[in-house]
Amino acid sequence: MTTIQIDLPDATAQAAREAGLLTPQALEQLLREAMRKRQVDRLFAAMDKLAALEPPMTEAEIDAEIDAARAERARRR
């Protein structure tokens, strides 16, 4: 278990405490949701980059990229 200390303005801390957001369980849930949102945001950013490729990759090109990545991963093992 890790202990974290944060500094908040008094009004913010009081409002968060009254809303039940300063409990370990509530803070853990907030952090997990924020991490999940970041993962989703990164996924959509990657999808946007792929969609912006000109011309779009063919299915064969995608398969070739996947095969190359798998071969590289196997080589590093």
pLDDT band at 77 (very low <50, low <70, confident <90, very high): confident
Closest by CA to 22, choosing from 43, 40, 4, is 4
pLDDT for res 3: 93
pLDDT score recorded for residue 34:
98
Per-residue pLDDT, 36: 96
- 20-67 confidence digits (pLDDT tens): 999 999 999 999 999 999 999 999 999 998 888 888 788 999 999 999
Mean pLDDT of 1-26: 96
Distances (CA, A) of 68 to 43, 51, 57: 21, 21, 15
